[in-house]
Amino acid sequence: MPSWLPVLIDEIVDVAVVTVALFLLLRALRGARARLALVGVLFIGLVDLAARLLNLPLTALFFRGLFLTSVVVVLLAFQDDLKRFFERLAVSGLGRQSGHPGDSAIESVVRASFALAGARNGALIVLPGRDPLDRHLEGGVPLDGAVSDVLLLSLFDPHSPGHDGAIVIDAERVRRFGVHLPLSANFAELSSRGTRHAAALGLAERCDALVIVVSEERGLVSVAEGGTLDVVPQADVLRARIARFSEGTRTGSVERRFSLREAGQRAGEWGVALALALTLWALVVLGSEVDEVSLSVPVEVTNVPAGYVLHSTTPGVVHVHVSGVRRRLFLLEPSDLRVSVDALLAQLGRRSFEVTRQDVDAPPGVTVTAVDPGKVVLDLEAHSPPAPSPADDP
C-alpha cells in the first residue's frame, strides 16, 4: 500500500466529519435570517484572515474585534437554534428513542381529532419525536392515562379546565394535559390562523415533534411538523402522517420523509457545507503546515563612506530561503524582504562582505533560514577632493 494512502484517507474522513457537522448546523438554522447572519459572520472572519495575511494590522484589528462581537451577537440571537443543534448531536450520539404510538393509539387520535373538528372544539395534541421537549413546555398536569377516544374527547371538552392547553402523548399514554406551548412568529406561515395554530407551529419550529391542531372556528384539522403547518382534509391522510412520523421516530432517522427528491433539494446545503469544510481544511490544516520557499531579493548597500562611490554590487541579487506556515508564505513577495549590507568598513580597504540571516529584514511569521550566496563584492571607488583652481588663490 502506498505510504501516502493512509494520510489521504485521514484527510477525507476529517473533511467528511466537518461537512456533516456543518450541514446539520445549516439545517438547525432553518430561517433565512439565521443563515444570513451566519454568512455575515463568516465573511467578517475571512476579511480578518485576509487582512492578517496581507499584513494590514489596523484592518485586521478592526475586523477581529468585529468578528468576535458578531459571534457573541449570533450566539445570543440564535441560541434556541444552537441548543437544538447540540441536542440533536447528543441525541444521535446517545441513540435516544422516544415512545411511538401503536395502531390503537393512532386510531384513537385520528377519530378524536375529526370528532372534535366536527363539534367545533379546539384541540392540541403533541406527539414527541427524538428531541427533548421539557424546555419548550410550560405548565400542565401529569396524567399518565391510556390513550382512548373517550379520554381525548373529555380532555378537550369546553368544560374541562385544561381544554385550552395541549396534551402530550408518549407511546400509548397521555403524559400531561393543559400544557402551554411556545408561540410562533412566522406570520407568513400562520396567515390568519389563531393562537392554537401559533402554538402548534411554535413547538414544531423548535423540535422534531408532530403537533395536531384542531380549529374551533373553522372545524379543520392541521398538522405542524418541521416548521410547516398543513391542513389535513381526511382521516386517512392524518393516519398516514402519524404512521410516517412514528416510523421515522422508531428507526431513529434524524430527517424523516427523506427521499431522493428531497436529497436533491438539499444538495445546495451539502455543497455549502462541503465548501466551508474544504476552506477550513485549507486554512487550518494545509495552511498551518510549515513550508520553505526561496525568493530573489536585491541587495541594498548602506553606510557608504564619505568620499566613496559605489559602482556595482556582485551579485546584485541573492536568494533568500525562508520558512513559515503555508498561508503566510502564499502571499509573500520579494518586496516584503530587505537585504542590506553595511559598507562602512570599505574605508579600511574591505571590498568583500558577508550576507547573513541577520542582514535580512523579514515580516512577522517568516523565518530566514539561509542566504545564497553568503558574500557580495562591492565595486567602490575613492574620490579625492578636487584641487583648487588658480583663481581661488589669494
Number of structural domains in the chain: 3
| 39 located within any domain | yes
Helix (H) or strand (E) holding 393: none
Report how far residue 318's alpha carbon sits from residue 20's, in angstroms, rounded to the nearest whole number.
Answer: 49
Q: Which of 57, 137, 135, 130 is nearest to 96 (CA)?
A: 130
Type of residue numbered 57? P
| 389 located within any domain | no
**What pLDDT, on a 0 to 100 scale, did the predictor assign at position 260?**
46
Does the pLDDT value for residue 273 go beyond 70?
yes
- Judgement on whether residues 231 and 126 belong to the same structural domain of the protein: yes
User: In the chain, pLDDT over 70 holds for what percent of residues?
Assistant: 80
pLDDT band for position 272 (cuts 50, 70, 90)? confident
- Judgement on whether residues 189 and 299 belong to the same structural domain of the protein: no
CATH of the domain at 330: 2.170.120.30
| 390 located within any domain | no
- Judgement on whether residues 126 and 207 belong to the same structural domain of the protein: yes
Q: Which residues contact 17 (CB under 8 A, 6 or more apart)?
A: none
Does the pLDDT value for residue 171 go beyond 90?
no
Find the domain containing 47 and state its range: 5-95+262-286
Does the pLDDT value for residue 89 go beyond 80?
no
Q: Which of 385, 336, 394, 391 is nearest to 365 (CA)?
A: 336
| 83 located within any domain | yes
pLDDT band for position 44 (cuts 50, 70, 90)? confident
Question: Cα 252 vs. chain centroid, distance in angstroms?
Answer: 25
Report how far residue 199's alpha carbon sits from residue 206's, in angstroms, rounded to the nearest whole number.
Answer: 11
- Judgement on whether residues 122 and 185 belong to the same structural domain of the protein: yes
User: Three cell numbers at 289?
Assistant: 503546515
| 157 located within any domain | yes
- Judgement on whether residues 113 and 76 belong to the same structural domain of the protein: no
**What pLDDT, on a 0 to 100 scale, did the predictor assign at position 207?**
82
| 388 located within any domain | no
214 or 255, higher pLDDT: 214
When mean pLDDT is compared over 28-42, 97-111, 316-330, the highest value belongs to 316-330
Decide the pairing of beta strands 290-302 and 338-342.
parallel
- Judgement on whether residues 279 and 322 belong to the same structural domain of the protein: no
- Judgement on whether residues 107 and 227 belong to the same structural domain of the protein: yes
- Judgement on whether residues 296 and 345 belong to the same structural domain of the protein: yes
Please state the φ and ψ torsions of residue 301, each to the nearest 5 degrees: -105, 130
Q: Which of 212, 226, 229 is nearest to 168 (CA)?
A: 212
**What pLDDT, on a 0 to 100 scale, did the predictor assign at position 87?**
64
- Judgement on whether residues 243 and 274 belong to the same structural domain of the protein: no
Residue 120 gets the label, from left (phi > 0), alpha (psi -120 to 50) or beta, of left
Give CA separation, 8 vs 4, 12, 18, 286, in Å. Answer: 6, 6, 16, 12
pLDDT band for position 100 (cuts 50, 70, 90)? low
When mean pLDDT is compared over 93-102, 262-271, 364-373, the highest value belongs to 364-373
Type of residue numbered 230? D
- Judgement on whether residues 175 and 242 belong to the same structural domain of the protein: yes
**What pLDDT, on a 0 to 100 scale, did the predictor assign at position 256?**
42
Ordered DSSP codes for 293-311: EEEEEEEEEE-PPTTEEEE
- Judgement on whether residues 211 and 233 belong to the same structural domain of the protein: yes
- Judgement on whether residues 56 and 109 belong to the same structural domain of the protein: no
**What pLDDT, on a 0 to 100 scale, did the predictor assign at position 388?**
60
Q: Which residues contact 88 (CB under 8 A, 6 or more apart)?
A: 24, 28, 130, 131, 254
Considering 226, 251, 276, which residue would you say is the last residue of a domain?
A: 251
Contacts 24+ apart (CB under 8 A), 84-91: 84/28, 84/131, 84/206, 84/207, 85/24, 85/25, 85/28, 85/29, 87/131, 87/132, 88/24, 88/28, 88/130, 88/131, 88/254, 89/24, 91/130, 91/131, 91/132
**What pLDDT, on a 0 to 100 scale, did the predictor assign at position 259?**
45
Task: State whether residue 332 is helix, strand or coil.
Answer: coil
User: In the chain, pLDDT over 90 holds for what percent of residues?
Assistant: 29
CATH of the domain at 174: 3.40.1700.10
Q: Which residues contact 338 (CB under 8 A, 6 or more apart)?
A: 297, 300, 360, 361
| 391 located within any domain | no
Does the pLDDT value for residue 31 go beyond 80?
no
**What pLDDT, on a 0 to 100 scale, did the predictor assign at position 257?**
43
Does the pLDDT value for residue 102 go beyond 80?
no
Verdict on whether the full-model pTM lies above 0.75: no
| 256 located within any domain | no
Least confident of 61-65, 90-94, 291-295: 90-94
Centre a 10 Å sphere on the Cβ of residue 116 and count the other Cβ atoms it contains. 24
